[in-house]
């Protein structure tokens, strides 16, 4: 279904935004994008949205509009969560509260925001065009067993504000040329985007899709309908593109009707 579908043209895309009280355009996300709603939501888009709904078993009305993202040379989206969950027990920020209200939150359960209290339940990323180098989707908290120990140690050092290597930060960030042998400025590649880091990375070919859950059952006694918990391993990033163009289309599904 996705083969040959490239979404809106480059001139129809605008700088991507984030949910934040500090402003919606930030350097953590440097791509451009467009929501496929209104007149852009044609029969093909409706068909894709309905197919996603059938695949994941969630009503189509619980989904946000498809969002097309374009990443050019050097563009990236730093590690983030698709959900808006913040500190447990603390009231959500104003921007997060408005985000949750669009699906019945911050109230929880039936008649409100469902098991996620209005938050995003799962993410579906559809790959339309793949770059020649870079641009992987990486999950820094989902690591392969052999590499888990050293990577977790490096991550702990970074979270404490220091360098993973105890020096100039060479282990956490590596500068890579945008074109092999070229004279263009380089780009900083985060540790979890580097080859051999141990972090889970995926670069599916065009026409493929990636699905992951942003929330998971909360605790061993969880029953269907109980409040779910954010999944720490769902934190991910769009690694910087080093050569070519990356084009994806994303749909987020929530646990209640999205408005």
Residue 213: other Cβ atoms inside 10 A: 18
CB-CB contact of 128 with 6 (8 Å):
yes
- Distance, CA of 201 to CA of 215 (rounded, Å): 20
Superfamily of domain 14-142+179-254: q2cbj1_9rhob like domain (2.60.120.620)
Strands 67-71, 77-80: pairing kind = unpaired
Contact 213, 124 (CB under 8 A): no
pLDDT at 33: 87
Q: What sign does the dihedral 35-41-45-51 (CA atoms) show?
A: positive
Residue with tokens 């969002």, as numbered in its chain: 67
- Long-range contacts formed by 216-220: CB under 8 A, 24+ apart: none
| Contact (CB, 8 A) for 236 and 137 | yes
Each residue's pLDDT, cut to its tens digit, for the chain (259 residues) gives 555 555 555 556 775 655 545 544 455 667 788 999 998 899 999 999 999 999 999 999 999 999 999 999 999 988 999 998 766 666 778 888 999 999 999 999 999 999 999 999 999 999 999 999 999 999 999 865 444 444 444 444 333 333 333 333 334 566 665 555 444 457 889 989 998 888 899 999 999 999 999 999 998 899 999 999 999 999 999 999 999 999 999 999 999 999 9
What does the DSSP assignment read for 23-84? -S--TTB--EEEE--GGG--HHHHHHHHHHHHHHT--GGGBPPPEEEEE-BT--EEEE-SS-
**Residue 178 backbone phi and psi in degrees, to 5:** -70, -30
Strands of the chain, DSSP E: 14-15, 32-35, 67-71, 77-80, 120-129, 133-134, 137-143, 173-177, 186-190, 199-202, 209-213, 215-216, 229-230, 236-238, 241-243, 246-254
Q: What pTM did the predictor assign?
A: 0.79
Cα gap 258→102, rounded to integer Å: 6
DSSP letter (8 states) at residue 228: P
Positive or negative, the CA dihedral 184, 18, 87, 215 is negative
């Amino acid at each position: 279904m996705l083969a040959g579908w490239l979404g809106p043209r480059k001139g129809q895309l605008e700088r991507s935004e984030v949910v934040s009280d500090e402003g919606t355009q930030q350097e953590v996300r440097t791509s451009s994008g467009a929501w496929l709603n209104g007149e852009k939501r044609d029969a093909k888009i409706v068909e894709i949205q309905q197919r996603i709904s059938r695949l994941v078993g969630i009503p189509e009305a619980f989904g946000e509009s498809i969002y097309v993202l374009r990443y050019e040379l050097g563009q990236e989206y730093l590690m983030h969560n698709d959900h808006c969950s913040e500190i447990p027990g603390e009231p959500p920020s104003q921007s997060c509260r408005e985000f949750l209200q669009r699906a019945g939150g911050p109230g929880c359960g039936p008649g409100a925001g469902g098991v996620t209290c209005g938050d995003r339940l799962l993410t579906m990323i559809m790959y339309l065009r793949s770059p020649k180098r870079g641009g992987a989707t990486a999950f820094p908290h989902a690591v392969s067993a052999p590499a888990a120990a050293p990577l977790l140690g490096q991550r702990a050092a970074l979270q404490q504000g220091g360098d993973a290597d105890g020096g100039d930060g060479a282990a956490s960030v590596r500068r890579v040329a945008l074109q092999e042998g070229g004279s263009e400025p380089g780009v900083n590649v985060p540790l979890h985007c580097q080859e051999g880091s141990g972090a889970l990375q995926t670069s599916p070919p065009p026409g493929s899709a990636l699905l992951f859950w942003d929330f998971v059952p909360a605790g061993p006694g969880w029953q269907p309908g109980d409040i779910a918990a954010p999944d720490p391993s769902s934190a991910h990033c769009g690694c910087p593109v080093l050569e070519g163009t990356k084009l994806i289309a994303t749909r987020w599904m929530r646990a209640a009707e999205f408005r």
